[in-house]
Amino acid sequence: MFESLSERLERSFKILKGQGKITEINVAETLKDVRKALLDADVNYKVAKTFTDDVKAKALGQNVLLAVKPNELMVKIVHDELAQLMGGEHVDINIKGNPAVILMSGLQGSGKTTFSGKLANMLKNKRGKKPLLVACDVYRPAAIEQLRVVGAQIGVPVYSELDSKSPIDIAQNAIKQAKKDGNDVVIIDTAGRLAVDEQMMNEIAAIKAAVSPHEILFVVDSMTGQDAVNTAKEFNERLNFDGVVLTKLDGDTRGGAALSIRSVVDKPIKFVGTGEKMEAIDLFHPARMADRILGMGDIVSLVERAQEQFDEEEARKLSKKIAKNQFDFNDFMGQIQQIKKMGNLKDLASMIPGVGKAIKDVDLDDKSFAGIEAIIQSMTPYERENPTSLNNSRKNRIVRGSGRDIQEVNRLLKQFNEMQKMMRMVQKQKLPNIKR
């Protein structure tokens, strides 16, 4: 995420390296680069200008501090300013109310329907809610069908009226239905609309008036350019929305929209969408995002995601097996599945500080496991439980069954052996700590 911006800044800071202190002259060149980097990242022109002016003022003020190197000091200043620009602490969505009504809004193709599904899925699985999705996009062909498919995928009911052309009626009827069925959250998906489309903007304002939502979210594509600010402003003037959702953040480079919307509209960014899977939803954390922009990685998000998928009971069992040297291919497969559940590998790897840039062009995603899985799946249950039983004849059968070559099978076996060894070592070191 944000590779090119952090790369640029890194390069900018290199100019400062080796210089004794921050002066008007050496800071000017750096800030010009910072500003250009921000503009390249689609940060709004005015926001970028204000930002660099602020940084300059702060940097020159700290002229006398010679304790740290100027480039480190600049990184800190830029980072702090970025974090401040993107707002303070995380703000949660308001789902108090029975049912709590959440209204989605945004341009065409920003990802409202997909995000509605993700939000419903999250509220259901993590907050113990009983959401109802409502299909109010009566215009785009198959939009209702899309929400129904999404609902079926995540096991959340979808309210729709195929014959109705009135989103207001549909929304109101859906709330009645939710009360009857005991759904405590109602998520209303609406049609995409341009901010300058008077009629459509009136419509969504009318929906708002009719259902008095507890939470209105503005969904915006993170790749949006300079216009993000204007669109957000106009939607905000009509709807006075409560929060912003930034989608498609699993793409590359951009992110400037996040900076500018937050500062111009003064509404918090509450969620980000980071993939096509229904689990690919994250809370927005301004400070972490600033870390990311500066290429400092995002280790906190990584740990959090790992914890979510971590099953303590499973882990205890696994730990016993490792201790008894019984870690086999079934366990290995289980581990792979768990990692896959955490989301896109490249995503995960890029959260590790310093790794993001290094793996920018590396082909790394869920399919990286395909070869390993094919090999393990071509083993018999006996072989999976007894990795040492794999002689040449068995290996050749696995080669034929999996369609991978013998080198690959051998490599996997070797890696597996090493992994077993390492696991035992790690455990031996760790055990005393656990007992304490």
Partner 1 sequence: MGFFNFFSKEKKETLDSGLSKTKENVFDKLTRAVAGKSRVDEEVLDNLEEALVTSDVGVETTLRIIERIEERVARDKYINTAELNVILKDEIVKLLAENETTTALDFGAELPAKPYVIMVVGVNGVGKTTTIGKLAYQFTQAGKKVYLGAADTFRAAAIEQLSIWGDRVGVPVIKQKMGADPASVAYDTLMSAKTNDADVVIIDTAGRLHNKVNLMNELTKIRNVMSKVVSDTPHEVLLVLDGSTGQNAFEQAKQFTKATQVTALAITKLDGTAKGGVVIGISDQFKVPVKYIGLGEGLEHLQLFNKEEFVDSLLG
Q: Which residues bind partner 1 (CB under 8 A)?
A: 36, 39-42, 44-45, 107-111, 113, 140-143, 145-150, 153, 194-197, 221, 223-228, 230-231, 248, 250-254, 256-257, 276, 363, 365, 367
The torsion defined by the Cα of 306, 312, 318 and 322, in degrees rounded to 10, comes to: 80
- Rounded to the nearest whole angstrom, what is the least distance from the CB of residue 246 to partner 1 in the complex? 13
Between helices 406-435 and 312-323, what is the axis angle to 10°? Answer: 100
- Rounded to the nearest whole angstrom, what is the least distance from the CB of residue 279 to partner 1 in the complex? 16
Q: For residue 21, count other CB atoms closer than 10 A to its CB.
A: 15
Contacts 24+ apart (CB under 8 A), 335-344: 336/369, 336/372, 336/373, 338/309, 338/310, 339/369, 340/366, 340/369, 341/279, 341/309, 342/305, 342/306, 342/308, 342/309, 343/274, 343/275, 343/277, 343/279, 343/280, 343/305, 344/250, 344/274, 344/275, 344/280
Q: What is the DSSP letter of 347?
A: H
- Rounded to the nearest whole angstrom, what is the least distance from the CB of residue 390 to partner 1 in the complex? 29
- Rounded to the nearest whole angstrom, what is the least distance from the CB of residue 149 to partner 1 in the complex? 3
- Rounded to the nearest whole angstrom, what is the least distance from the CB of residue 167 to partner 1 in the complex? 16
Q: Which is nearer to partner 1, 184 or 221 (CB)?
A: 221
Q: Which is nearer to partner 1, 22 or 147 (CB)?
A: 147
Q: Which is nearer to partner 1, 7 or 304 (CB)?
A: 7
- Rounded to the nearest whole angstrom, what is the least distance from the CB of residue 96 to partner 1 in the complex? 30
Beta bridge partners of 188: 103, 134
Q: Which is nearer to partner 1, 223 or 379 (CB)?
A: 223
Displacement of CA 288 from its chain's centroid (Å): 12
Q: Which is nearer to partner 1, 42 or 328 (CB)?
A: 42
Q: Which is nearer to partner 1, 44 or 402 (CB)?
A: 44
Question: 242 with 252: CB under 8 angstroms?
Answer: no
> Rounded CA gap, 23 and 290, in Å?
25
- Rounded to the nearest whole angstrom, what is the least distance from the CB of residue 370 to partner 1 in the complex? 9
Q: Which is nearer to partner 1, 87 or 111 (CB)?
A: 111
> Rounded CA gap, 30 and 35, in Å?
9
